[in-house]
Amino acid sequence: MTELPTPAGTTAAFGIEINLLGQIVGQVYDADFNVHAALWSHEALTLLPGIAGGTLLGTPRPFLWQNGVTTPLPMLPAATTGSASGINDRRQIVGETGNVAVLWQNGTAIDLNSRIAPSDPLQPYVYLRKASRLNNLGQIVASGSDSHSSDPDQWYVLTPVN
């Protein structure tokens, strides 16, 4: 077991994801409870510059951070905030904008609610609010609500069909 280092004066830190190289991404909260994106690599911590836990340039916005470059992801129409939360090897990204589950593919934001097949028995009742993870098969884990349920937060697996 290895303890992940945290900067002096921080109030909390936690890892969210780990890759095959053992690199961990997560968040660090400073003394004022501002959240900063963090990368632990070979037991060294790097606070990612210009990025704060899904915040880009002071506004909660989805982004892709790659090779030291931060690229904003497009938002759905009328959305003012959002976040990205998962990426696969095909460079598909999932998250949410304006409380709507989103898939970013080829530089385009796609409302996942619009991709539920009309023949799916859940289609008339489910509203997807956030996509959290996806795999290399394109399967997506998302949360939302079902008008037939009193539980405000349901989880779903979305599987692409061709």
The list of the chain residues with pLDDT below 70 reads 1, 33-35, 49-59, 67-68
Q: Are strands 93-97 and 82-87 parallel, antiparallel or unpaired?
A: antiparallel
pLDDT value, residue 49:
59
pLDDT value, residue 161:
84
What would the DSSP string read from start to end of 77-113? Answer: TT---EEEEEE-TT--EEEEETTEEEEEETTEEEEGG
**Global confidence as pTM:** 0.71
Domain ranges of the chain: 1-53, 56-162
Cα dist from 109 to 100, 104, 153, whole Å: 11, 5, 23
Distance CA 82, CA 55 (A): 9
pLDDT value, residue 121:
93
Distance CA 55, CA 115 (A): 27
Distance CA 80, CA 77 (A): 9
